[in-house]
A and B are shown apart, each in its own frame.
Chain A
Amino acid sequence: MNCEEATDLMDGYLDGELDPVTSQTIEQHLRDCPNCEQAYKAHTALSHAISRGAPYYKAPTGLRERIQSSLREEMVAQPMRNVGRDVQPLFPRRQPGPRSILFGTSWNWLALAAAILLAAIIGWNLLPRLQRPGPDQLLAMELIGSHVRSLMANHLTDVASSDQHTVKPWLDAKLDFAPPVVDLASEGFPLIGGRLDYLDNRPVAALVYQRRKHFINLFVWPGEAAAARPAMAISHQGYQLLHWVDPDFNYWAVSDVNANDLQTFKQQFAAQTPHH
């Protein structure tokens, strides 16, 4: 590690937000480099100064009562909250009396019936469309985005190696799980390397395979609740997504290879990992 890298990561080190391997590398560098060590000490002193010296603005007395009374006012003014907000605008406060005038003319009710019928028809037609971007679809977008970025930004791999015994320990050290890594060169899918990525609100492993001129990103993370998602294949914007699970992990393969190639890839990968 050189001084520039150490400077860039110093704040993360100070805040204890780096992974253990990087932390150790920085520690080593600070031992070896007096300049960076001095800078780090200044940083620590500054942290200390902010924590000790900067005023903490506690809420003044009276704010609590002010908040509580405004919450109570809010509850009295809008007691409909629990019934559901959408109901409210349908029956606005301009209802003249307790009852009867609105109910007197059946014309209003015919209009209302027609409106409800219309709403039902519109709803019936719109609903499937609105439901389409469900959690899986959002994840699929995220996956494609990640795949495209990995090809675009010259950041396909963090560790470039066709040797699974290099890629796997590297990933194991960065993640809180140990993803299965297999080389599928003899099956026509050579391993190119591995990468850390962030998907579905968690750090994930991305294994990169090649198929002729195309790349396959295989995203892997532990099962948990996500394992409940059934296996599926999605085709979107010319990209193929293939999802499967085994007892330990969630897999998402993303690529611009054709769907059959991706299926083959999945079968080969599953066949060579311990669980299938």
Chain B
Amino acid sequence: MAAPLKIDYAFNAEDLESSAKIVKFTILKKHQEPDAAQEHELASFEETMLPHMDAAHNLAKWLLRNEEDAQDVVQEAYLRAFKSFSGFHGSNGRAWLLTIVRNTSYTLLKKNRAVDLTTTFDEEIHTAGHESVSPATILEHSEDAALISEAMDELPAEFRAILALRHQEGLSYKEIADIMQIPPGTVMSRLARARGKLKEYLAARIGKDK
């Protein structure tokens, strides 16, 4: 019983040693310089993803409302995206990157300012029937960036983001669902609530001005 075991071990040890040396050799070489394949991967990543930097920054800024945080999140999101770039086979680089931006932002939001997110899920935000402001009045103020920006700021993070994705990036409901990680059927009702709430805030502000 003992004899065959010994032979077996010896065989394994010898065999492994020779192949392991080769493995180690390649590792040492890899540590010294990134090879051409990696340079190529980085170039291809940058070519696919850097054009979406404005969209990434815009989303992060709407979610976080802080320039420094937004830039940190975008940088971090690009790093995360690069690390999993080999797993990206889709054609929609923008939606993919924005999903990572959204997730990275939420990680930060949850860590720093839990309040900002929880308001989003406050079901008491109820907007139906608030039509105190006429279409003409809204149109009159539609160029007033400061007014609209202030009213947007009052919205919860998730509402700000969904409005930015729809109105500034022009994304479809399907893309928005993927990015915000909500069921496709929820996108319409969430947009409706965000718009209703914004209309309410605008009405309050326009009323105050007069």
B141 partner, pick from A44, A49, A51, A66, beta carbons under 8 A: A49
- 7 A-B pairs with CB atoms under 8 Å apart are A38-B131, A49-B139, A55-B149, A59-B56, A60-B57, A60-B71, A79-B34
Chain A 138-158 per-residue mask, 1 if CB under 8 angstroms from chain B, else 0: 000000000000000000000
Contacts of B124 in A (CB 8 A): none
Contacts of A46 in B (CB 8 A): 138, 195, 198-199, 202
* B107 at interface, CB cutoff 8 A: no
Chain B 63-81 per-residue mask, 1 if CB under 8 angstroms from chain A, else 0: 0000100110011001100
Show the binding face of A for B, using Cβ within 8 Å: 7-12, 15, 17, 38-39, 41-60, 63-64, 66-68, 70-72, 74-76, 79-83, 87, 91, 95, 98-99, 103, 106, 109-110, 112-113, 116-117, 198
Apart from A49-B139, A54-B168, A63-B71, what are 13 other A-B pairs with CB-CB below 8 Å? A11-B189, A15-B173, A44-B135, A47-B167, A50-B198, A56-B54, A66-B71, A68-B46, A70-B79, A71-B82, A91-B23, A112-B20, A113-B12
Given A66-B71, A74-B82, also A53-B57 (CB < 8 A): no
A54 partner, pick from B45, B74, B148, B172, beta carbons under 8 A: B148
* B123 at interface, CB cutoff 8 A: no
Tell me if A52 and B142 are in contact (CB < 8 A).
Answer: yes
* B21 at interface, CB cutoff 8 A: yes
Contacts of A52 in B (CB 8 A): 142-143
- How many interface residues does chain B have, given as a range? 35 or more
Tell me if A59 and B74 are in contact (CB < 8 A).
Answer: yes
Given A17-B173, A63-B71, also A51-B167 (CB < 8 A): yes
* B1 at interface, CB cutoff 8 A: no
Chain B 30-51 per-residue mask, 1 if CB under 8 angstroms from chain A, else 0: 1101110110011001100010
**Minimum distance in angstroms from B210 CB to a CB of chain A:** 17
> What DSSP secondary structure best describes chain A's contact surface?
helix
Closest B residue to A7 using CB positions = B128
Contacts of A45 in B (CB 8 A): 135-136, 138-139, 142
Contacts of B108 in A (CB 8 A): none
User: Given the complex of chains A and B, what is the CA–CA distance between A234 and B184 in angstroms?
Assistant: 29
Contacts of B136 in A (CB 8 A): 45
Tell me if B152 and A54 are in contact (CB < 8 A).
Answer: yes
**Minimum distance in angstroms from A49 CB to a CB of chain B:** 4
